[in-house]
């Protein structure tokens, strides 16, 4: 497949990490414990990469960051929904690795090592303030949005580092978060979570 910037995907995303609430990394501050272990999940509700439809597919990225996110190299693993056919798998890999331009091209500048790109069985759920992801045999993550005044969402806007620019990020708390793959093993709960809708484009 030829790399193209003719693409757009829309959907919802969420993440959880080992930082205290709210994760200081999005403000370009050091992680709460000096390192950040984060799992990010996306569900593409509608998407097209140069004619290849991507509707309904899931993607996840695990990252280990041993310091301030903009000062050190990240070690990452990318997971593509096993339901994706060959063309969809290639398209999603190009997009989320940053090779197809857009926001992920900027994120990719911080990646020092890609330890794996693989397809996996993934179950992504979103209901109200709750989000959950299961990557079969690898990860399980569940977060719930925190209540602000009158039960409204607590949001962060205009933060300098974001998985989704130009969208208010809802602050959440993890109910559970486990991950084991590529020599990385995390077992956390009661830590930071974020979620929001997303729209990404190649140009």
In a domain, 1, yes or no: no
Asked whether residue 61 is domain-assigned, the answer is: yes
In a domain, 13, yes or no: yes
Half-sphere exposure at residue 56, Cβ-oriented, CA atoms within 13 angstroms: 5
Q: Which residues pair with 19 in a beta bridge?
A: none
Residue 58, in any domain of the structure: yes
Helix and strand numbers, DSSP H then E, in the chain: 2, 13
Domain that includes residue 57, residue range: 7-201
Q: Would 147 be classed as within a structural domain?
A: yes
Whether 156 is in a domain gets the answer yes
Look at residue 1 in the predicted model and tell me its pLDDT.
Answer: 62
Q: Where are the alpha helices (DSSP H) in 48-158?
A: 86-96, 103-108
Q: Please identify every stretch of the chain with a pLDDT value under 70, giving residue numbers as ranges.
A: 1-2
pLDDT for the residue numbered 97: 97
CA atoms within 13 A on the CB side of 87: 9
Token couple for 95: 């997009």
Q: Which residues of 139-178 are buried (b: 16+ CB within 10 A; e: fewer)?
A: bebbbbbeeeeeeebbebeebebbbbeebebbbbbbbebb
Tokens of 58: 């899931």
**Per-residue confidence (pLDDT) for residue 2, from 0 to 100:** 63
- With contact defined as beta carbons under 8 Å apart, do 56 and 85 qualify? no
Q: Is residue 2 part of a domain?
A: no
CB half-sphere exposure, 46, CA atoms < 13 A: 1
Within-domain flag for 172? yes
How many separate domains does the chain show? Answer: 1
């Amino acid at each position: 497949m030829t790399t193209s910037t003719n693409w757009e995907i829309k959907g919802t995303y969420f993440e959880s990490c080992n930082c205290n609430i709210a994760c200081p990394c999005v403000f370009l501050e050091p992680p709460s414990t000096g390192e950040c272990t984060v799992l990010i999940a996306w569900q593409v509700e509608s998407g097209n990469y140069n004619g290849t439809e991507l509707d309904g597919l899931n993607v996840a990225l695990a990252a280990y960051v041993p310091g301030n996110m903009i000062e050190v190299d990240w070690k990452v693993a990318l997971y593509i929904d096993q339901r994706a056919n060959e063309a969809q798998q290639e398209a999603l890999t190009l997009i989320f690795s940053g090779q197809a331009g857009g926001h992920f091209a900027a994120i990719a500048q911080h990646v020092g090592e890609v330890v794996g790109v693989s397809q996996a069985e993934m179950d992504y759920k979103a209901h109200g303030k709750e989000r959950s992801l299961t990557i079969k045999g690898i990860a399980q993550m569940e977060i719930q949005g925190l209540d602000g005044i009158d039960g409204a969402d607590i949001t962060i806007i205009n933060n300098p580092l974001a998985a989704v620019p130009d969208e208010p990020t809802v602050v959440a708390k993890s109910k559970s978060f486990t991950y084991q793959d590529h020599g990385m093993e995390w077992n956390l709960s009661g830590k930071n979570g974020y979620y929001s809708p997303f729209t990404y484009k190649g140009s």
